[in-house]
Amino acid sequence: MAEQIIIAIGREFGSGGHAIGEKIAKDLGIEFVDRKMLDEIAEEKNIQVEYLEKLDEKPRKLLMSRRVGAYSNSLEEIVADMQFDYIREKADKGTSFVIVGRCAETVLRGRKELISIFILGDEECKKNRIKERYNLNEADAAAKMARHDKKRKRYHNRHSDFKWGDSRGYDLCVNSSRLGVEKTAEMLEMYIKERM
């Protein structure tokens, strides 16, 4: 790929956003960045990856945490800042990649090579995907979906100046329930190629 392209994907839990991101990266022949970034950060900072995983995309605990300028005593905020630095450094190297979550669309806003996408889905489709993937009943799948989306929303809204899922904050918002994961990825690839 001649020019750098960065695709940042935000998603609702159960929408298939992760699978869509993986397919896009594979089809375009570019790197897929997700949880493996934690391995790289852990190695660079000499921290156990399990520690980072516990705090990954978690909103800070409001009690007993505060931020003064660029510094915070919140472990969640410190881990988020490490991830944001990682994302910026990766983009600054000229690498093309797809990244899911971690407020990447906010961290990299203003870069001409950035395409930001939000994947949503119909409640029933998302619940069915969650039930199948995690072997849950209807009630447990609904509870898991609500819990994860609440966490993602709080995390995103803490670190961004626009609300999670608000179409004005993304180049494109797509309901994956309409076409399914494969066809949604293919449609997004056509859009990405037009932007390249």
What pLDDT, on the 0 to 100 scale, is given for residue 117?
98
Q: How confident is the model at residue 90 (pLDDT cuts 50, 70, 90)?
A: very high
**70 pLDDT exceeds 80?**
no
CB-based contact 80:159 (threshold 8 Å)? yes
**116 pLDDT exceeds 90?**
yes
Higher-confidence residue of 163 and 51: namely 163
Q: How confident is the model at residue 73 (pLDDT cuts 50, 70, 90)?
A: low
Give domain 6-195's CATH architecture. 3-Layer(aba) Sandwich (3.40)
What pLDDT, on the 0 to 100 scale, is given for residue 54?
62
How many DSSP H helices and E strands does the chain contain? 8, 7
**57 pLDDT exceeds 70?**
no
Paired with 6 in beta bridges are 97, 114
What pLDDT, on the 0 to 100 scale, is given for residue 76?
77
This prediction has a pTM of 0.87
For the chain, give every domain's residue range.
Answer: 6-195
**151 pLDDT exceeds 80?**
yes
What pLDDT, on the 0 to 100 scale, is given for residue 78?
79
What pLDDT, on the 0 to 100 scale, is given for residue 196?
82
What pLDDT, on the 0 to 100 scale, is given for residue 53?
65
CB-based contact 169:104 (threshold 8 Å)? no
**62 pLDDT exceeds 70?**
no
CB environment 41-75: b (16+ within 10 A), e (fewer)? bbeeeeeebeebeebbbbbbeeeeeeeeeeebebb
Mean of the pLDDT values across residues 95-122? Answer: 96
12-16, 47-51, 142-146, 173-177: range with lowest mean pLDDT: 47-51
Instruction: For the chain, give the number of residues.
Output: 196
Q: How confident is the model at residue 63 (pLDDT cuts 50, 70, 90)?
A: very low
